[in-house]
Amino acid sequence: MLGNMSNPVKKVPIHLQSSQNRLLIKNGKVVTEDDVFDEDVYIEDGIIKQMGRNLIIPGGTRVIDARGNYLLPGGIDPHTHFDFEFMGTRSVDDFYTGTKSAIAGGTTMIIDFVFPKEGESLLDAFYEYRRKADGKVCCDYSLHVCLPTWSAHVQRDMETLCKEHGVNSFKMFMAYDFMLDDGQLYSAFEQCQKLGAIAQVHAENGPVIAKNAERLLAQGITGPEGHELSRPEELEAEAVNRACVIAKQVDCPLYVVHVMSRSAAKKVAEARDDGGRVYGETLAAALGTYGARSEHECFRHSAGHVLSPPLRPDPATPDCLMTCLALDVLQLTGSDNCTFNKSQKELGIENFTKIPNGVNGVEDRMSVVWEKGVHAGIISPSRFVAVTSTNAAKIFNLYPKKGCIAVGSDADIVVWNGNAVRTISAQTHHQAVDFNIFEGMQCHGVPEYVIVSGRVCLEEGQLRVAEGHGHFVDTPVFAPYVYEPEKMAELKPTRNGPAVPAVEPLELEDDFRL
Ligand code: URP
Ligand code: ZN
Ligand code: ZN
Ligand code: ZN
């Protein structure tokens, strides 16, 4: 808990913050997925009530001057694993430290994954996650549900979750002991399509990985370097391709989680070119660092970089994946935050297959994507908003309540200073974990204020979160963005005043084209 000791969180009771129910943010540059414009934003009771200039607002309203800064829709991290029992241990960031850290970095909503234990039904697992998260979350959250087995019972529970519990996404694994085979994937995708849900897939060829791992261990390769060697990127690309082909058979929209390599991204691009409803998410880790780190001589460092699919040794991978985000080959960034301390990573000290898989990122995702994307000149501020917030809101049917700054939307807003610099470190982060894969990285892009449901949770470097202040948010099925894209125009919030031309498209290096 290094971060907590050096950076104590002041918790202000909710009742002392009630005067904050009215807030005016003045002089900021509002960024949307396709526009940047100067408008003031007036918030009441957690909702954006007015936008424009010279707004008429009640006396006594708190005013924040955002001059020189951007106003971004709060980040939505579509991929976290808080309080997750996995590989014989439990991730150390729970729904309190996880969402607190999210807010510290400018993320105002997360979507976590329900993972049923052996023999547990999807429904019981869902209730258990609600119990773990409600009362702890400092910001709003939704839940995806994993399908570690396939059966008629699972199929029934999927329907109940969609119809009664606000779930619209299910994750299937093509690797690990709990992977589904191709026939089971087919059936699960078919059920997703029928329900109006989104199929998510962890795409790696599990049986081939198992054989590779056996061979490497027999050769005496037991250290963390065996992790990537056993799961080379062609096994990721092959599985992405197979998942796209299977999803196509039953016309199911497919969301490929954690795309970690150029060759996997290429398969996503091909499926999209073919007209497939395929969406690709990459990770802050994949954009901010690369796989050579897993050969660090110290076990903590190399094991600290172990996640699946692995970080790739090719140092061009981060820029290639960022360019895929720029070109709309990939649509979103997540963190896949799944944190384990030194003693937990040491479960695999003698055998790389036993290193708990997972890294941090929920706190640093926004800064890392800004630094490697906007500051590096590969994506515009508008595309940054799309890949950190808006596209997640659209795909999971949270838009326009979330993912945009517009009248009627939730007041989840970040006052973002694109020029300020911070250095990432486990010494100062707010996460419970004792390690940070971005240690020492200097990032332009720092949140000056983070407003969560109208409440100022970060200002002047002080984090004031409220445990349990967040709510579970339903993700209704048949997201128009996925199932009825022609309806999106109706959903798009409008604003008064002349349109400002969208940010110029950026020239992209030919090298990064797929
Ligand atoms: O290594 C990873 N990615 N850990 C979390 C579980 C998963 O597959 O997303
Ligand atoms: Zn996964
Ligand atoms: Zn070390
Ligand atoms: Zn994950």
Q: What pLDDT shows up at residue 497?
A: 37
Kindly give the distance from the C-alpha atom of residue 268 to the centroid of ligand 1, in angstroms, as a whole number: 19
Run of H or E including 235: helix 233-249
Where do the H-state alpha helices sit in 376-457? 381-385, 391-395
Query: Within 10 A of 216 (CB to CB), how many other CB atoms are there?
Result: 19
Atom of ligand 1 at shortest range from CA of 306: 1
Length, in residues, of the chain:
514
Atom of ligand 1 at shortest range from CA of 308: 1
DSSP-assigned beta bridge partners for residue 22: 44
Nearest CA to ligand 1 atom 1: 307
Find out whether 384 and 327 touch, Cβ atoms under 8 Å. no
**Best residue among 307, 311, 354, 355 to mutate for probing ligand 1, ranked by most atoms within 8 Å of CB:** 307
Taking the whole predicted model, whether its pTM rises above 0.90 is answered as yes
Dihedral sign from CA coordinates of 398, 107, 228, 348: negative
| Nearest to 107, CA basis, from 400, 490, 419, 451 | 451
CA 97, CA 235: separation in Å to the nearest integer?
34
The tens place of each residue's pLDDT in the chain, 514 residues long, gives 233 333 333 444 443 444 459 999 999 999 999 999 999 999 999 999 999 999 999 999 999 999 999 999 999 999 999 999 999 999 999 999 999 999 999 999 999 999 999 999 999 999 999 999 999 999 999 999 999 999 999 999 999 999 999 999 999 999 999 999 999 999 999 999 999 999 999 999 999 999 999 999 999 999 999 999 999 999 999 999 999 999 999 999 999 999 999 999 999 999 999 999 999 999 999 999 987 655 667 999 999 999 999 999 999 999 999 999 999 999 999 999 999 999 999 999 999 999 999 999 999 999 999 999 999 999 999 999 999 999 999 999 999 999 999 999 999 999 999 999 999 999 999 999 999 999 999 999 999 999 999 999 999 999 999 999 999 999 999 999 999 998 888 888 865 433 333 334 444 444 445 5
Closest ligand relative to 358 C-alpha: 1
Kindly give the distance from the C-alpha atom of residue 206 to the centroid of ligand 2, in angstroms, as a whole number: 12
Q: What pLDDT shows up at residue 495?
A: 59
Atom of ligand 1 at shortest range from CA of 113: 9
161: tokens are 């979750």
Phi, psi of 137, deg, nearest 5: -70, 135
Atom of ligand 1 at shortest range from CA of 202: 8
Kindly give the distance from the C-alpha atom of residue 259 to the centroid of ligand 4, in angstroms, as a whole number: 11
- Which residues sit with their C-beta closer than 6 Å to ligand 1? 81, 202, 258, 307-308, 336, 338, 357-358
Q: What pLDDT shows up at residue 295?
A: 60
Q: How many helical (H) and strand (E) elements, i.e. helices and strands, does the chain have?
A: 18, 21
Nearest CA to ligand 1 atom 4: 358
The secondary structure of residue 359, as a DSSP letter, is: B
CA 142, CA 426: separation in Å to the nearest integer?
27
What residues have their beta carbon closer than 5 A to ion ligand 3?
A: 298, 300-301
Find out whether 69 and 382 touch, Cβ atoms under 8 Å. no
CA 349, CA 122: separation in Å to the nearest integer?
33
CA 465 to chain centre: 20
Task: Determine how β-strand 85-86 pairs with β-strand 89-90.
Answer: antiparallel
Q: What pLDDT shows up at residue 69?
A: 98
Residue 407, amino acid: V
Query: Within 10 A of 417 (CB to CB), how many other CB atoms are there?
Result: 18
Kindly give the distance from the C-alpha atom of residue 35 to the centroid of ligand 3, in angstroms, as a whole number: 44
Is 276 in a helix, a strand, or coil?
coil
Kindly give the distance from the C-alpha atom of residue 475 to the centroid of ligand 4, in angstroms, as a whole number: 19
**Best residue among 77, 201, 283, 308 to mutate for probing ligand 1, ranked by most atoms within 8 Å of CB:** 308
Q: What pLDDT shows up at residue 503?
A: 39
